[in-house]
Structures are given as structure tokens and as C-alpha cells.
Structure 1
């Protein structure tokens, strides 16, 4: 009777749609960034030791990692047929053993051990020592697996690997399997729908009544820079939140959490977008460049730590929205009123509370939100803070109508008071929709799509233009 040869599976990019080295790196950045960066610097040239150190800093849940469905199905069918399915990986042994146990695969695993990095020729030598040349089938996903495929009886190639053609040309049995990633999935990771929030850069121009191309064009370039900066930070945020996203009912479908885009591709895209944002900002003016740098640093701090701190995260969200308004003023080189900044900050505090209210309402249990400091018990407190934000914003707007700048820009003061009515309705409605869970997870994005809400904002803006005398100036009468 012929002995059935084992099926040996590579892990990173083959059995899994991710790489456990990068998974532990980003998990480490989220838990202990100093220790993680120290390990990366010290052991950059010693990958086996680096992998071991990162696992010690931030052990990850292997049961949550995204698997390649075709390879997982092949492994299941092989096991049901009585065939041994073995994992052989350059990842750290502790994780590989844990992964094998999660999926009921062979207890025999081959992996890096802190001293030897089991990759390429080293992996081939180890497998030949265990099973003999041609004594196993091997599934892998990169050119470095060529030396292992050469020693296998059947080469299972995941994705399009050019070097696999050499095997076919030499008469080796090669089976190609689906793999890889798409540009469309990467574009989704940039969250282009979030770019609409950068329309906040236009507020300073509107508030100062500077309606000219000389002001508008640099602000539009500023929106491009902020969109690139925001997308770069969204990538970092997603990479830091991989485990939390996989536990979330909808965020588990995000490109990095689901494995649709490799982590290393995300890291390269982050660098390119950050350079684009800073390059455009520097080309505009150094004041705007400073604001972009401030935004990116604050966003990184939010992603790394602040978003996990109760109440601090809402204040930081409000600050990030407010920075966009300041950025618009810097890009267009217009003056921004202190009253305006004091007015919009409590509005953004309210919207930050709405964001958390929405998430808590849509949560499926009473546990704290993954990666956040809130649970359902905090809904009433968030509602109270949102109410205080509405009151503060309306009070400051009312006081602004009596200020020297307010009197100069808006001579018909009573119309400003009338504009407070639709403004208040809009704010209260946003809070109510968040309380009922009838919003998008981001209130600004929701506001830009909400026709009724846009109508209220247009009424508010029209009354303010009337109070400023702009309608008669533009259309006569």
C-alpha cells in the first residue's frame, strides 16, 4: 500500500491572507510602541529573534486571522481523507503551533524558533530531512518558496508567481491556486468617502466672505493634501486596530482586517500618501504645512493611545475637526475669528459624542466597544455632554453677534438670531439620530449625505448671507 504523502502548507500569504510578523509588529505598536520600535531597531538584521521578541511583546489571537478559503478548504478535504496537513512557516513557532491547534492540523509544525529563520533553502532542507526529497506536497505564495517547491512532489502555487513557470518548464507538477490582492481593495482602504469631511476647510473662507478664486484654489489644493494625510492615517489606524476590527460586526470586512490587502502594501501606501500630503502642503505655504504636521501627529497619537481613553477621544475628535477649519484658513491665507473656533469646537464635541452614541446603540452586547473606553452604560453621559455642546455652541454664536467682527460682517443682527433656529434643529436631530442608531458611524459623512439635514444647513447659511447683506450685493435690490 502506497503511503500518503503529507500536505505541507506555508502560513503567511498561503494558509493565511496576512503575515504574522507584521501582525505582531502592529499589535506591538498598539500595546507598547517603545518596546516594539526598540525590538525592530535592535533585531532588524536578525528576523528570527525579531519575530520572537514581537510575539513576547504582543501575542495575537491566531483564531481571528483571515484564512485563504481555497487553501483552508484543501486542508479540510485532505484531513477528511486521512492525510496529514502540516504547517511550515518562517513565523515564530509559538504562533504557528497555536494556529495549527486552532484548525485541527498536525501537531508537527516547522517554524522559526528565535535562532533559525525557517525560510527558503533552510525550510527546504528541514522538510527534506523530515520527509525526504519528493516526499511531500508544498503550497507557497512567493518566489522564495522555489527551493521548497523543487524538493516537493507537487507544487501548489498561490497567486501569480513568475518563478513557478521555471518549475513547469522543467516538468515539475505545478497547481496554481487563487491569491493576491486588488487595487480596488486598496482604494477602499483609503476610505475615499471620508474625504468629504475635508469640505470643512472651506468654512474659514465662507466665514470671512472671501469668495474669490485666489482664495479658493489654494484651499482646494489644501483639501487634496488633507485627503492624502487623512487616508495615510486611516491606514495606520486600521493596522493598529486589526484585532478590534475583526471582532466588529462590520469593520471585520475592512481590507486589512479581512486580508484583502497585505499589511506591507498598506505600509508602503502610508508612506507615499504622507509624502504627498507634506509635499503639497509645503508647496502652498509653511503655515499650512505646520497645520498638516499637527493634524498628522494628533491623528497618530489618537490612533496609538488617545482613542482608548474615555472622553479624551471625543475631545481629540473635536480637535481634529477644528484643525481642518484652521487648515482652510492657513491654505487660503484668511483670518479666522477666535469666536469661530470657540463656536465650532463644542459643535464638534457634540458630533464626537454622536459618533460614540451611534456605535453603542448598534453594539450587539454590553461589553466595552473594541479598542474604545465606552460601554452602553455611558450612553446617558454621552447624551448629556452632547447637550452641553449644543448649548455652548448656540450661546457662543449668540455672543458673537454682539462682537465687533460680528457687527461688521453681519449688520442685520436679528437674522443671525433667526439662523440659530435651524442650526439648533440640525444639532438636536443629529444627536437624536445617533441615540436611535440611525446614522453612519461617522456623523460628518452622514451629514454630507442627509438631504433633510443639508436643507437645514442651507437655510442657516442663507440667513447668515442675508444678515451679511451678501444676497443684495450679489443679486442687487
Structure 2
């Protein structure tokens, strides 16, 4: 255990850097909004994304300490650094506290409104860790609220309003990712691990597949409505965003199939699946081209 405290790999694993991809939602208002460019707003947006990544790592460490007893009985989560004993609960808790306080302090220096959203995000995750994660559907709605907060925080940093349809898109997409996470967790459990943590007990594979299908449909429909909404056209000066829909449809369906067939974690799928990464990159390139055409 002593050697594990000073090893870099267990700490990197505990901090979950792959999950920092979720901070993309902080950058979204800058990337597709009127502030796009090499300017002060770029620095503010990137700083905000980094701070959300740091506070997420602090929350993951806190969760690992809280969940260590049940994680030890889980077929895969027992390998996590805290559950396996590579990192002591005290060390993980100490680093979590330092990261949390540092992130909030830097957030306050960056922007007061952003700080309040960062604080709300932390409170939402604390409530989730201690209570909400055991409540069916409400657990995923709490996760989705965190993604919406990221987008609002990104808008505050560059002083633009977030449209209702964009909020609807983000909420629907995060519902899909949240139920995908639950599906992967459920699939990864063995029958001989009765004490392992699996979220709310009323979830079943069949129910999660239905919820995934509904969330996928809502995600596609809300994106299409967002792309043709009058406020979207006014903001971006184009009515061509509807042509980016095929990339979204492909990503959603590929996500759905991979989660149901292979039990892939959403973060793992986003980072490592080549087909998803290619379609996602093409969507982003086409979106940037349409919203910020080269003149």
C-alpha cells in the first residue's frame, strides 16, 4: 500500500482524466457562438473547462471514498485505486478537498456567475453521491442537470444567453449518456456479487433498454428542432445546421448499439471508439464551418 501512495498511475486512474471530455460542454457556447476566435473568450472558456475537469476529479475521489466498501465486492470496481488499497481513503479525501477548494477559489477569480454555477454543480454532485444515486430515474436526471450546468457556465464566461432548445438538446443527450452508464454498470455485474453497488435496484436490462431508446429518440428530435429554431438561425446567421443531423443520428445509434451489445461505458466509448470519434469529428467540423464560414 505504501508503494501505491507514491505511484503516479493509481492517482491518474482515480482522477479519471478520460472523463474530462465532458468539459466539452463548457466550450460549446464558445465554439458555436458569436464569440468564437482567438481572443480573451477562448482563454476564459478553456479555463472554465479545466476547472470543471478539476472539480469532477475531486468529486470522483470523494465518491470512491464513500463507495469503497461496496466497490470491493464489485467485479470491476474492486480494481479502483481506493477500493483495491493502492490509495488510502485518507489520501484520496485529502486530495479531493484540496482540489475542490482550489477549483472554487479559481472559479471565483474567473467570474462570479461562473463560480455560482460551479458551486451549484458541486452541490448537485454531493447530493447525488449521498442520496440521489439510489433513486430510479432521478439519479440520471441529476447527472443530466450537471451537463446543463456546464453549458450555462460556459455561456456565463463569454456573456451570451443559452437558448432553450440548446438546453433541451444537452439535457436529452445527457439522459442518453446517463442511462448508457447505468446499462454498462448493470451489464458488468456478476450474479455472485450481491453486495456490489449497481445504482437503484429497480433497474433491469429491459427497462434500461427502453429508457435508452426513448432518450435516443428525444435526443435526435430535439437536435433537429434546435437546428431549425428561429433563435438558432438568428444567432448563427445560417439555416443550414439541419444538414449536420446525419452525423448526430449516426453517433446516437452507434452509442446505443455499443452500449447494448458490448456494455461499453459512455466515456470509454467516446474516447476509444473510432467510428464514434470519426463521426463526432465530422459533426464538429461541419458545425464550425456552418457557424463560422471562411470568408
TM-score, with length taken from structure 1: 0.57
Equivalent residues in 2 for 1:226-375, closer than 5 Å: 226-365=52-191, 370-374=197-201
CA gap of 1:346–1:409, structure 2 versus 1, over 3 A, is: same
1 CA distance for matches of 2:255 and 2:4? 41
Equivalent in the alignment of 1:207: 32
Structure 2 counterpart SS, 1:248: coil
Which structure has more relative contact order (CA 8 Å, sep 6+)? It is: 2
The answer (yes or no) to whether the contact 2:31–2:288 under 8 Å persists in 1 is: no
Following TM superposition, by how much is the alpha carbon of 1:452 offset from its aligned partner in structure 2, in angstroms?
Answer: 1.3
CA deviation profile, 1:166-207 (whole Å, cap 9, x unmatched): xxxxxxxxxxxxx67214233432222322321221111123
Q: Are residues 247 and 369 of structure 1, via their aligned partners in 2, closer, same or farther at CA, if it must alter by over 3 Å?
A: closer
Comparing both structures, which one devotes a greater share of its residues to helix? 2
Determine if contact 2:32/2:287 at 8 Å carries over to the other structure.
Answer: no
- Residue 182 of structure 1 aligns with which residue? 6
Equivalent position SS for 1:241: helix
In the other structure, the counterpart of 1:425 is 250
Aligned position for 2:20: 195
Kept in 2: contact 1:195–1:227 (CA 8 A): yes
1:238/1:257 contact within 8 Å kept: yes
Asked whether the 8 Å contact 1:295–1:323 carries over to 2, the reply is yes
Give, in angstroms, the shift of residue 445 of structure 1.
Answer: 4.5
SS at structure 1 position matched to 2:47? helix
Conservation of the 8 A alpha-carbon contact between 1:221 and 1:280? no
The alignment covers a number of residue pairs equal to 292
Distance 1:321 1:374, change over 3 A: farther
Measure the CA separation in 2 of the matches of 1:274 and 1:342.
Answer: 29
The alpha carbon displacement at 1:346 in A equals 0.7
Where in structure 1 are there 5+ consecutive unaligned residues? 1-16, 18-158, 160-178
Q: Give the unaligned 5+ runs of structure 2.
A: none
Query: What is the alpha-carbon distance in structure 1 between the residues aligned to residue 125 and residue 268 of structure 2?
Result: 18
Other structure's SS at 2:5 match: coil
How far apart are 1:434 and its partner, in Å?
0.6
Q: Considering fraction of residues, name the structure with more strand.
A: 1
1:401–1:242 Cα change, 3 Å: closer
CA distance in 1, matches of 2:121, 2:276: 27
